[in-house]
A = this chain, B = another copy of it.
Amino acid sequence: MERPDGRKNDEMRPVTFQPDIAANAHGSVLVSFGNTQVICAAMLSDGVPRWMLQQNVPGGWLTAEYNMLPYSTLDRKPRDISRGKIDGRSSEIQRLIGRSLRAVVDLKGLGQRTLWIDCDVLRADGGTRTASITGACVAAEMAFMRFIEAGMLKKTPMTQLAAAISAGVWQNTCILDLNYPEDRDAAVDFNYAMTENLELIEVQGSGEEAVFTEEQMMEMLALGKKGTKEICGKQRATLDAFDPSSDTELLDRIKRGRK
């Protein structure tokens, strides 16, 4: 069974990270999984949501927003604001991104701050939610590195890196990292969020109006682990090459605090 772009069943698309795509954010990357591109930005702001204050929950908070830019799809996708309400799928994805990141960020280590994660899809070709989680983790760690550099954090609140990847059953075969045409035709679609130690954070699998077996589930999980391992290597390499001291203007802003 030949995949449309000639990949092997367990082969990922090229994964890249372009740092500081959004230069006003504390940390940001343009993450690519093949043609899929997502702007991921992380901004820390003072204060926490009101419910934390009311319930006396110590530490900080992390929240994520996900959005498809109207020109990210082949046919233009109307903005949510033109309908006045957020798309159900987007709402689901941004809740997933938030939960996945909170599993690897020590909220107490944030102090009384909120970490805002924003994921805006610039080009959609399958796997936007997995690219978003993957890029958001890198953007968040870049923000933390800058806060450490600026003396505003002692150590990173990120306990380990997190990444996400999809697998699915397509033409009766289990394949890794589905692109849009594969995703559209797949009988089963799984998304995994894992830590760099391959512990599981989130598993979401859905027979798209179909059913699947435990054996298929196991085979897809093995693919997911292989993919995660590769991605986490690239996340680490990107972070190793990142110099948090270079943008002195941004560091000054972080030191001065909000405004």
Residues of chain A from 74 to 94 with CB closer than 8 A to chain B in the complex: 74-76, 79-82, 84-86, 88-89, 91-92
Q: Are the CB atoms of B122 and A76 closer together than 8 Å? A: no
- A202 partner residues in chain B, CB cutoff 8 A: 205-207
Give the residue of B21, B22, B199 whose beta carbon is less than 8 angstroms from that of A213.
B199
Q: How far is the CB of A4 from chain B (nearest CB, A)?
A: 12
A23 to B36, CA, bound (A): 10
Q: How far is the CB of A225 from chain B (nearest CB, A)?
A: 8
Counting CB contacts under 8 A, is A15 at the interface? Answer: no
Chain A 105-131 interface 0/1 with B at a Cβ cutoff of 8 Å (1 = within): 001000000001010101110000000
Counting CB contacts under 8 A, is A45 at the interface? Answer: yes
Q: How far is the CB of A212 from chain B (nearest CB, A)?
A: 5
Which secondary structure dominates chain A's binding surface?
mixed
Counting chain B CB atoms within 10 Å of each CB, which of A24, A45, A91, A99 scores highest? A24
Counting CB contacts under 8 A, is A184 at the interface? Answer: no
Give the residue of B21, B118, B206, B214 whose beta carbon is less than 8 angstroms from that of A70.
B118
Q: Are the CB atoms of B205 and A203 closer together than 8 Å? A: yes
Inter-chain pairs besides A65-B82, A201-B211, 15 sampled, C-beta below 8 Å: A23-B123, A24-B74, A24-B124, A28-B71, A41-B69, A65-B79, A75-B259, A80-B81, A81-B86, A85-B85, A88-B91, A200-B217, A202-B205, A203-B204, A203-B217
Size category, A interface: 35 or more
Counting chain B CB atoms within 10 Å of each CB, which of A69, A208, A258 scores highest? A69
Q: Are the CB atoms of B69 and A209 closer together than 8 Å? A: no
A89 to B92, CA, bound (A): 8
Residues of chain A from 179 to 218 with CB closer than 8 A to chain B in the complex: 190, 195, 199-214, 217
Give the residue of B73, B212, B258 whose beta carbon is less than 8 angstroms from that of A200.
B212
Counting CB contacts under 8 A, is A103 at the interface? Answer: yes
Q: Are the CB atoms of B210 and A76 closer together than 8 Å? A: no
Chain B residue, CB-CB nearest to A102: B209
Q: Are the CB atoms of A79 and B99 closer together than 8 Å? A: no
